[in-house]
Copies of this chain bind each other. A is one copy, B any other.
Amino acid sequence: MSLNGIFPIDQWDFQSRSILMELSDADQARLMMHAREEHYQKGDVIFREGAMATGIYFIQSGMVKKYKIGNEGQEHIFYVAGAGEFIGYHAVLADECYPDAAAALEESVLSYIPAADFLEVITTSPNLSKMLLKVLSHEFTVFTNNVSAFAQRPVKERIAIALIILREKFKRSVADGQPVLIRVSRDDIANMAGTTRENVARTLTEFRQEGILSTHGRKIEVTDIRRLADISNFPD
């Protein structure tokens, strides 16, 4: 079941995957010239908030959470990036330290691309430059949605949104037609929705009783995506 017509998933997705695909072979080669392959286990930190940004990362496989740590140590996950997406480019482009941290949600393989290579290709390829402007501008849409959701929507709706997004991310690593099993801890879901694990557990129970999803051990399978989209309360 696609989300077409029931939830505007593109407004919640950075779509940085499109960058590499639209690049010429020559530019791709230059970008990856000194790329270094790095392997991360579930939970491994890729970079921390406030660290110097020396390069960007391309996700070859796996899944990565982007998050900030609050004053009292609470983690807030504001984006989950999957295979084909880049991370860490904001800091390099803005010439700032990383404003956020990134960690592997599952076993992942990333390519580390030195800042110099990235900046060089930008300078010489008007195409990449234009692509990036487009991607970064689109992120604005994603973030306005995010901020508004957190500022105004109740916890149940936010959990529904988090589940829809996660399902979409996990769908990509599953053969068509196969059930999509979301493998994420309740804590991570809580940190995405800006609530507590207890509230997530309660809400999942409620959704299960209403036939919206089923759980297999810790894994979550959404069985009625349309109803979930209804609960998320998005017009689209």
Contact = CB atoms under 8 A, between A and B. Distances in A.
A84 to B, nearest CB: 19
A5 interface: no
Given A71-B235, A138-B96, A194-B152, A133 B122 contact: yes
A4 interface: no
A11 B233 CA distance: 31
Interface in A150-197: 150-153, 194
B147 A146 contact: yes
Contact of A136 (B133, B148, B235): B133
A144 B150 CA distance: 12
Given A90-B140, A151-B194, A123 B122 contact: no
A122 B76 CA distance: 35
A42 to B, nearest CB: 23
Give this chain's copy count. Answer: 2
Residue among A94, A123, A140 facing the most chain B CB atoms (10 A cut-off): A140
A139 interface: yes
A76 B148 contact: yes
Contacts of A130: 122, 129
Given A150-B151, A152-B194, A144 B95 contact: no
Given A68-B144, A92-B137, A136-B140, 18 more contacts: A68-B148, A76-B147, A78-B147, A78-B151, A89-B137, A93-B134, A93-B136, A94-B137, A96-B137, A96-B138, A99-B145, A129-B133, A136-B137, A136-B139, A139-B140, A147-B147, A150-B194, A152-B194
9 contacts: A68-B144, A71-B235, A76-B151, A93-B133, A93-B134, A96-B137, A99-B140, A136-B140, A143-B146
